Each structure stands twice: as C-alpha cells, then as structure tokens.
Amino acid sequence: MFFSILHLLLSQKVKSYDPVDNLAVNCGNKGNTNPRNRNWVGDVDSNTILFSLIEQSSVEANAPTPIPPNVEQIPFDSARLSQSQFTYSFHVVTNGPKFLRLHFYPTWYANFVPYNSLFSVKAGNFTLLKDFNASLWVDDKHQTITKEYCINIDSGERLNVSFLPTTSHSDVYAFINGIEIVSMPAFLYYTNLTNDLDPGKFKVVGHGTTPYRILSGQALDTVYRVNVGEKQVPPGEDTGMFRNWEVDYPGYLMKEYPQSISSDYTRQPIYKDNVAPNYTAPANVYLDARSYGRDATEDYNVTWEFQVDS
C-alpha cells in the first residue's frame, strides 16, 4: 500500500523529458504567475534576457471581466495589440527543434473590436499564419485558439516572431495573449538522417510506401492531437513538453461509439527496447483505449472525423 502510493506520487512528479528551453510569455501583463505549476513571464517591464519586444507602438489591454469559466485566466486575461507590426525576439539556449505555441482569445480589448483582427505571424523564415482573422475561428465569444508549431533553431540564432496586421485593410490589428517556446527531443517528429535505421516515421496516404522524412529545415503545424479513450490529457500532464491531448468524444468520434476501456491508471507501460521512448506520449494516452468488445462484427464501422484544410 505504502509503496503504491509512493509510486503514484513519483510517477506524477517525474517527467520523462525536461526541456532546456521552456518559456511561457503572458502577453500584456506584468510579473510572474504560476497557474497549474507553469511559470508565465509577463512581457510588461520584464527584465528577463530570454526575450525582448521590438517596436513599442503596441499596447497591452485586459479582456473583459469576468473571464468565462471555460477560459483559462493565464494567459487569456490580457493581450498585446497593435495596428502596426511588433516582434518578440527570443533568446533560445539550445539549438534544435522547439515547440512554438501561440494563444489567442478573440474578445473586446480597450478600443479593439474582435472582428477587426486580421494579421499574419512570421517566425524565422516561416509564415505561420496568413491573414488570420481570429474571430472566424471560434463559434462563440467564449472560445480560445491555440496554434502549435515545430521549428528548428540554429545555435546562437535568435527566434524573431512577428505580428503583422494585413496592410490591404484599414483599421485592422494584430494581437496575441500568450507565447510558448519549449524544447523537444531532436527526433521526436523530425527524421534522424544520420541513422540509416530511421526511414522516417510516417507514410503519406496515397503516396506509396516510401516513408516521409521530416527535415530540420521544415516547420510543422499541429492540426490535431487526440487521445482515443475517455481522458483529456492536459499540458501539465504531458511528458514535459506541455502538449495538450484532446479527448476524442464528442468532437471527433462520429460513427459507432465503442466504449472507452482503461487500464489501472497508476500503472506504467513498459517501453520495450525504447522503440518508442517514454517521452513520446504520457502513460495515460496508452492506458485508455476504445474497444469494440462484444459488438464487434465485420461491419461495425468505427469512424473518427477530422476536418482538414485542403
């Protein structure tokens, strides 16, 4: 009994990956805050060397209060906004691939109305968002948007992330509520080209059997990350990279609804031969599943549906 409790405590605390670069910026706010054991650094009067804000014509403003219960206070209760370009310049400690996350809460901020946001976001050589109208992405006014990218950074380089209002429209503005930069294992998603045994991890549907290689000069845009089964695995319960694992129902599971089954959540999977290293996904992703169980017949057709941008 004592040992199983101890084991539970340890498995919750020790993460299998410890990112060297781990920065969360709370835009339009001052000081440090620690919701859900994550340190967010304000970008107002900040004296950290980890980032600087270039072009100061931007302003900070708060979201209307009270913040709806489904919207997390940090980083969504404040934003940085501007009708002209502004840039965050990040000092990254290590080279290699990073998660770059952008958090948006389209709502009313001072004189900025939600339906007038229209802007592009560039990071290094990549245009991550083009003519992005945040209010088009949400169904109601109590929703937030998180965009996640992977991008490689060379050693000694700064990562500049720029917000550029679309110039062909007047009165439009750019805004941002939160930015995260988090290191990831070198070959979690990217292909290890020096390893002949790593052919690439994915095959592209309709493009034969040759694995698709993801090269360090490429950037990735997360479209969906879904845990099949009953559990959402929130960023704080990831293996250390603060990834969010959405639950598959009711959002994606569309046809036939096999039950979620779960193992004992206090157990740990056995990572045989490190084929999939333990940081690849948190244990709870493996410990629940959907099973056809006794309903299984040849035409019991389970379908998950994902909308994708053509």
Contact set with ligand NAG (CB under 6 A): 14, 16, 54, 89, 115-116, 118, 124-125, 133, 135-136, 157-158, 160, 169, 172, 186-187, 192, 194-195, 217, 274, 278, 299, 301, 303
Residue 20, class by beta-carbon neighbours within 10 Å (0-12 exposed, 13-18 middle, 19+ buried)? Answer: exposed
Q: Taking the complex as a whole, how short is the minimal distance between the CB of residue 33 and ligand NAG, in angstroms?
A: 27
Q: Taking the complex as a whole, how short is the minimal distance between the CB of residue 257 and ligand NAG, in angstroms?
A: 14
Cβ contact 51:88 at 8 Å: yes
Q: Taking the complex as a whole, how short is the minimal distance between the CB of residue 21 and ligand NAG, in angstroms?
A: 15
Q: Taking the complex as a whole, how short is the minimal distance between the CB of residue 167 and ligand NAG, in angstroms?
A: 12
- Tokens for 298? 């040849």
Toward ligand NAG, which CB reaches closer, 33 or 87?
87
What are the phi and psi torsion angles at 101 (to 5°)? -115, 140
Toward ligand NAG, which CB reaches closer, 78 or 152?
152
Q: Taking the complex as a whole, how short is the minimal distance between the CB of residue 224 and ligand NAG, in angstroms?
A: 18
Cis peptide before 258 (omega within 30 of 0): no
Other CB atoms within a 10 A radius of the CB of residue 124 amount to 17
Q: Which residue is nearest to ligand NAG (CB)?
A: 195
Helix, strand, coil distribution of the chain in percent, nearest 5: 15, 35, 50
Q: Taking the complex as a whole, how short is the minimal distance between the CB of residue 137 and ligand NAG, in angstroms?
A: 9
With tokens 């931007």, the residue in question is: 58
Cβ contact 111:175 at 8 Å: no
Q: Taking the complex as a whole, how short is the minimal distance between the CB of residue 186 and ligand NAG, in angstroms?
A: 5
What are the phi and psi torsion angles at 132 (to 5°)? -80, 120
Write the DSSP assignment of 143-155 as a string of letters.
--EEEEEEEEE-T
Toward ligand NAG, which CB reaches closer, 54 or 261?
54
Toward ligand NAG, which CB reaches closer, 74 or 98?
98
Toward ligand NAG, which CB reaches closer, 30 or 113?
113
Toward ligand NAG, which CB reaches closer, 45 or 196?
196
Toward ligand NAG, which CB reaches closer, 30 or 147?
147
Residue 129, class by beta-carbon neighbours within 10 Å (0-12 exposed, 13-18 middle, 19+ buried)? Answer: buried
Q: Provide the 3-class DSSP secondary structure of residue 171.
A: coil
